[in-house]
């Protein structure tokens, strides 16, 4: 199995495990699900019963999922750059879901994956085309 295939398998694991927990009918690779996962990360940060290896594995799986959401909603491909797996839009522009998920676990809502995810089409406006025609709710209504 290639690394990209493993990333996709980890993302599917997240969908299978968190989809029913979310209570959302359409939990998957979309902005509303990223918003829910953002809140899930915040709830997990408060737990005192998780060991460091469990947290690291959760971060890895959620980062795979978030990266696949980027790909599904905005395009891009998984690539290895400077020792990290990123979703690249071209040779010079990429996002770093593994770093971003870890930052939210470390710093909390100030490093929100939801706000990061929603800035991608603004920051990379010339490179990404939102894939969904479904109108999204404002961020404050998704909380």
Q: What is the mean pLDDT of residues 2-29?
A: 96
Query: Could you tell me if 70 and 63 are in contact, meaning their C-beta atoms sit under 8 angstroms apart?
Result: no
Classified by CATH at the fold level, domain 3-130 comes out as: 1.20.120
| C-alpha span between 102 and 125 (Å, rounded) | 25
> What is the domain partition of the chain in residue ranges?
3-130
Q: What is the pTM of this model?
A: 0.88
| C-alpha span between 25 and 49 (Å, rounded) | 29
Q: What is the pLDDT of residue 142?
A: 47
pLDDT over threshold 70, residue 134: no
Q: How far is CA 30 from CA 74, 117, 118, 132, in A?
A: 10, 10, 11, 8
Residues 6+ apart with CB under 8 A from 134: 30
Q: How does residue 131 score in pLDDT terms, banded at 50, 70 and 90?
A: low
Query: What does the pLDDT look like over 83-95, one tens digit per residue?
Result: 999 999 999 999 9
Query: Could you tell me if 68 and 34 are in contact, meaning their C-beta atoms sit under 8 angstroms apart?
Result: no
DSSP state of 21: H
């Amino acid at each position: 199995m290639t690394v990209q295939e493993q990333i996709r398998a980890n993302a599917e694991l997240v969908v299978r495990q968190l989809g029913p927990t979310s209570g959302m009918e359409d939990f998957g690779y979309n902005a509303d699900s990223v918003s829910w996962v953002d809140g899930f990360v915040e709830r997990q940060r408060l737990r005192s019963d998780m060991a460091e290896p469990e947290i690291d594995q959760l971060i890895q799986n959620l980062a795979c999922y978030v990266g696949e959401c980027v790909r599904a909603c905005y395009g891009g491909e998984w690539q290895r750059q400077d020792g990290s797996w990123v979703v690249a839009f071209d040779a010079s522009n990429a996002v770093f879901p593994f770093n971003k998920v870890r930052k939210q676990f470390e710093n909390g809502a100030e490093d929100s994956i939801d706000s990061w995810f929603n800035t991608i089409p603004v920051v990379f406006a010339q490179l990404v085309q939102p894939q969904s025609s479904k109108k999204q709710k404002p961020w404050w209504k998704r909380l």
